[in-house]
Amino acid sequence: MIRVIVVDDYTVMRAGVVALLAGEPSIEIVGEAGDGRAALDLVERHDPDVALMDLRMPVLDGVATTAEIVARHPRTRVLILTTYDTDEEIEHGVEAGAIGYLLKDTTRRQLVDAVHAAARGETVLAPRVAEKLIAKMRRPVQAALTSREAEVLNGVADGLTNAEIGERLVIAEATVKTHLLRLFAKLDVNDRTRAVVVALERGLLRLPPG
C-alpha cells in the first residue's frame, strides 16, 4: 500500500485529487494539507511514501516545503502537481529535490501511474515539462560577463541606482542601461534582483565579505 498526502491550498482542487486516487486499492490517502507548514506536520506524523505537492501556497510554498521534506524525510518522495510550467518554476521544483513534476491536466491513470513510479524512486515528468527541461539543457552556454558588465552588476548588488552606477563608473546613465540589458540577456533574467542572484549562483559575481 502506497501512503500518500495531498498538499494544495485550494480545497476543491485537493478534494478532486483525493477523489481521483480514492478508488485505487494500492493507494491510501493518509492526510491533506493546505499549506507547506501543515504538510511538514503531516509528514512527521504519517511518514508517507509520496507527497503530492502544489507550488504556490501560503505560509510555506511548495519549493521550500519540498526542500524541507527531502532534507528531513528522504524516504518520502515529493511529486509536484501544479498548474505552473514556466522554466523557473520547473527548475526550482527539481532543484529542491522533487522526484517528479506533473501538471494538473494529467489524467487519473497518469496520476496513479506517477504515484506508483514515484514510490519506486523513479523520476516522473509531464511531457511539456520534460520538453522544457531538454530545451533548456540544449541552449548554448551564455557568454561570460565583460569586466564593465560585472562592474555594473556590482553596483546593482550594492543597491545603487542606474544614475549612481554611472557616477561611480564615470559613464552615462544610458550606457548603464545598455550594459544591464546585455547582462540580462546573458543571464536569461528580466530584473535586477534576479540578475544578482543568478550571477552569484554561477560564480560570476562575488560580494565582498561582511
- pLDDT for residue 25: 94
Mark whether 119 and 16 lie in a shared domain. Answer: yes
The closest of 204, 171, 169, 173 to 186, measured between CA atoms, is 204
Mark whether 47 and 130 lie in a shared domain. Answer: yes
State yes or no: pLDDT of 48 exceeds 60: yes
What's the order of all strands across the beta sheet hosting 124-125? 27-33, 2-7, 50-53, 77-82, 100-103, 124-125
CA 74 to chain centre: 18
pTM equals: 0.67
pLDDT tens column, 59-87? 999 999 999 999 999 999 999 999 988 87
Residue 103 structural domain? 2-137
- Domain-located, residue 52: yes
- List beta partners, residue 81: 102
Q: What is the mean pLDDT of residues 196-200?
A: 88
pLDDT interval class at 141 (50, 70, 90): low
Distance CA 155, CA 185 (A): 18
pLDDT tens column, 155-176? 999 999 999 999 999 988 888 9
- Domain-located, residue 207: no
Question: Do 186 and 142 meet the contact criterion of CB atoms below 8 Å apart?
Answer: yes
- pLDDT for residue 140: 56
Distance CA 121, CA 43 (A): 17
Q: What is the mean pLDDT of residues 105-119?
A: 95
Q: What is the mean pLDDT of residues 144-159?
A: 89
- Number of folded domains in the chain? 2
